[in-house]
Amino acid sequence: MQSKSWSTDHEAVQCLPSPAELSEALPATPRALRTVQKARNAIVDILNGTDDRLVVIVGPCSVHDPVAARDYAARLALQRARFAQELEIVMRVYFEKPRTTVGWKGLVNDPLLDNSHRIDVGLYTARALLGDINDREMPAATEFLDPLSIRFLSDLIAWGAIGARTVESQIHREMVSALPLPVGFKNGTDGNVQVAVDAMSAAARGHRFMSIDAQGRLCALSTSGNRHTHVVLRGGSEPNYEAHCVDAACKRIAAAHFAPRVMIDFSHANSRRQYRNQVSVCADVADQVARGDERIVGVMIESNIKEGRQDVVPGTALAYGQSITDACVSLEDTGYLFEALADAVRARRRTRTEDLLREQLRA
């Protein structure tokens, strides 16, 4: 696909394809669309409490190498099948990175990793990757950051996140109100959970706001609201994955007249930015689930083929399958986390069965 560009004294403009043009160049296959819809439905059922599995959003902090991402997806698909009775595993495929100051903004913005910012190439690469991953029956999750890029990719996304830096943004809350998929709102960077609850309330309502249509034209978009949202606990000044933090968050959610359901991010502030701490966070959360806590509906794990992280150094080849943003646990170690979570779900089922039997005996 060809793009045009021109410059003025203060800006450079690069013309991009419309969402419809990109979709026409890279159409979603029937199998990919079935993968997306099946996963969306499963996640909604888990959020509603009619499916007692856990949602597991797992994968690289960010995708920078499409080849390694496809490899990771193929390996993860085996784990998804293995734990299908306990876990709804969805691959984390993050293309856009919110930055506190500056830095690499993700594959959509700078796909060549050289500050050339070929967004036309980035959009094409991202959609092609999503199509391939879903075609392998591995559903994908992503963070929605740019309100425009969502129009190019959202039909291939099963679950979306609004991050800690944008959870208070009116634009992002309106955007979620238009999405036909479940979305998690992270608590604020300082640990404030109420902003995520407020975001749920805002996104559940209909809005009218400016957007672009499939042809890339500016339009006024009317939405009916999205009731399939939830809070993601990712920590703040302190971790917030422990039982008393879950209790406090669920009280806020219930006070806003939503079902008290939370997803827990093992990484970020909950791991104190130490990727290996995701293992201990997992152990604590799995224990809560095993003891019967049905309010915990999902978890997030930052995982890659190879553990740790690396810097992008011009002229130096990157290590294959290792993050260039946040450090991740290895895919091998991720398998152990899956086992712990699956064991916890099975224990929760036994606890529920025992509770039902006791109630019947009392009756």
In 3D space, the residue among 215, 218, 219, 247 whose CA is nearest the CA of residue 231 turns out to be 247
CA dihedral 137, 143, 148, 154 (to 10 degrees): 20
Q: How far apart are CA 151 and CA 133, in angstroms?
A: 19
- Quickly list H helices, 115-169: 119-135, 150-153
Ordered mean pLDDT values, 10 residues apiece, the chain (363 residues): 59 88 98 98 98 98 98 98 98 90 90 95 98 98 95 98 97 98 98 98 97 95 97 98 98 98 98 97 98 98 98 95 98 98 97 82 81
Domains of the chain, by residue range, sit at: 14-306+319-356
Q: Tokens 């933090």 correspond to what residue? A: 245
Tokens of 339: 């086992």
Q: What is the per-residue pLDDT for 238?
A: 97
Tokens of 266: 């093992």
Count of helices and strands (H, E) across the chain:
10, 13
Tokens of 115: 């500050």
The distance between the two most distant Cα atoms of the chain, rounded to a whole number of Å, is 80
Residue 127 CB contacts under 8 Å (≥ 6 apart), including other chains: 22, 23, 26, 152, 153, 156
In 3D space, the residue among 311, 320, 314 whose CA is nearest the CA of residue 112 turns out to be 314
Q: How far apart are CA 139 and CA 119, in angstroms?
A: 24
| Burial label, 339 (beta-carbon count in 10 A; 0-12, 13-18, 19+) | middle
CATH of domain 14-306+319-356: 3.20.20.70
Q: What DSSP designation does 308 have? A: B
Q: What is the per-residue pLDDT for 8?
A: 61
Q: What is the per-residue pLDDT for 360?
A: 82
Q: How far apart are CA 254 and CA 243, in angstroms?
A: 16
